[in-house]
């Protein structure tokens, strides 16, 4: 158990970033992520990161 705790494997999925989303919203985000990876590969890390966090990668920045 100490080894599991040291490796961060004790959360039982509660740290999953999309936990609590509806099934439809989860599916939509998953499809957007899949489509981005198919279109551009994993080279565009900023867009992948935005999609994983639920942000709109096409939204304008403040600065």
> Does residue 52 contact residue 17 with C-beta atoms inside 8 Å?
yes
- Mean pLDDT (the chain) is 77
Domain boundaries, the chain: 20-57
pLDDT reported for residue 4:
78
Surface-to-core class of residue 41, CB atoms within 10 Å of its CB (0-12 exposed, 13-18 middle, 19+ buried): exposed
pTM score, two decimals?
0.52
Segment 50-58 shows an average pLDDT of: 77
Secondary structure letter of residue 62 according to DSSP: -
Residue 15's pLDDT is what? 54
Please return the burial class of 21, using the count of CB atoms within 10 Å of its CB with bins 0-12, 13-18 and 19+: middle
Give 7-24 pLDDT, tens digit per residue. 777 666 555 566 677 888
Summarize the confidence of residues 29-51 as an average pLDDT.
Answer: 82
């Amino acid at each position: 158990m100490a080894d599991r705790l040291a490796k961060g494997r004790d959360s039982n999925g509660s740290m999953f970033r999309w936990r609590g989303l509806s099934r439809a919203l989860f599916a939509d985000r998953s499809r957007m992520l899949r489509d981005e990876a198919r279109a551009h590969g994993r080279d565009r890390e900023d867009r992948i990161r935005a999609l994983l966090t639920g942000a709109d990668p096409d939204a304008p920045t403040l600065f």
